[in-house]
Amino acid sequence: MSQDSTTYLAKKRFFGRMLTIFGRKPVLEALQDRKLKPFRLHLAESNREGGIMDEILSAAKQRGVEVLYHDKQALSRISKNAKQDQGVALDIECEGFTDVEDLLNDLPAELELMALDSVTNPQNLGMIIRSVCASPMTGILLPEKGCARLDALVIKASAGTLFRAKIFRCRDLAETLKKFAAQKCAIYGLDANAKESIATLATNSRSIFVMGNETAGLSPAVRAACTHQVSIPMCNGVESLNVSVAASLLAFRRLFR
């Protein structure tokens, strides 16, 4: 029984690292990129031979990627985008994708995460991923639902950094933040009206900065889970910044002190 449990958890971790992309050109480019780790290629049985399809199959063979064939309906369940998948989807193993429970079970002494609460614009999400990936931060805490899907638009906006970013997935952001707080993590919710400013903030060795929705800001449940509120000081009567710009300022703030 315990062996089954260990096997199941290992399998769950492995598939939790999978990112599925779709579309003929994006899939071909991913198969040709030696820095990526393609795992499984999914094709619609209705695809015609020739042209880019032959290139995709040739690239998959060269990389030793398993190829599975499906009817259109089954493929659409894999791609989750029947209108744009073009009969092609590819599973890519992203080693930086981790279930947050694994992190909580072995929390390092120093930790700094960017948590995203309902960031729904793919360009914003991609740019935040790019900034955090390039910064000294540990990674991004990303709920499985509520934010933009990790699709081609996010990949493009992240300039491909999504594939190597450290992303910790969680099911419920508010409840996950409470678990971090219980382990002495400071949870900073970004709020334009907060009295405490990032300019003078002395952060905890374990810190999480929470960015809210582009329009509504932090949700009530997530706001309640924050242990602190913090603002970005602004001049000339400007009330707010784009969420991706604000996230970049937070991600790099320690380098310019």
Across the beta sheet with 88-93, what order do the strands follow? Answer: 18-22, 88-93, 38-44, 66-70
Confidence of residue 13 (pLDDT cuts 50, 70, 90): confident
Same fold, 18-93 and 97-256: no
Length of the chain measured in residues: 257
Residue whose C-alpha is closest to residue 101's, from 135, 46, 141: 141
Average pLDDT over residues 20-36: 96
The pLDDT, as a whole number, for residue 1 is 42
The pLDDT, as a whole number, for residue 78 is 96
The pLDDT, as a whole number, for residue 3 is 54
pLDDT digits (tens, 9 = 90+) for 72-103: 999 999 999 999 999 999 999 999 999 999 99
Q: Which amino acid is it at 87? A: G
The pLDDT, as a whole number, for residue 4 is 62
pLDDT digits (tens, 9 = 90+) for 133-177: 999 999 999 999 999 999 989 999 999 999 999 999 999 999 999
Q: Domain extents for the chain?
A: 18-93, 97-256
Q: Give percent above pLDDT 70 in the chain.
A: 98
Are 72 and 82 a contacting pair, CB within 8 Å?
A: yes
Residue whose C-alpha is closest to residue 56's, from 20, 87, 12, 94: 87
Structure tokens at 128: 């935040």
Average pLDDT over residues 34-56: 96
Phi/psi of residue 125, each to 5°?
-60, -45
pLDDT digits (tens, 9 = 90+) for 93-132: 999 999 999 999 999 999 999 999 999 999 999 999 999 9
Arch. (CATH architecture) of 18-93: 2-Layer Sandwich (3.30)
pLDDT digits (tens, 9 = 90+) for 173-223: 999 999 999 999 999 999 999 999 998 888 789 999 999 999 999 999 999
Distance between alpha carbon 87 and the CA centroid of its chain, in Å? Answer: 25
Q: What is the mean pLDDT of the chain?
A: 94
60 vs 30: CA distance, rounded Å? 10
- Residue 5 reports pLDDT greater than 50: yes
Neighbours of 1 (CB within 10 A): 5
Arch. (CATH architecture) of 97-256: 3-Layer(aba) Sandwich (3.40)
Answer whether 0.95 is exceeded by the pTM: no
Helices 24-32, 51-63: crossing angle, 10 deg rounding: 30
The pLDDT, as a whole number, for residue 170 is 97
- Residue 254 reports pLDDT greater than 90: no
- Residue 2 reports pLDDT greater than 60: no
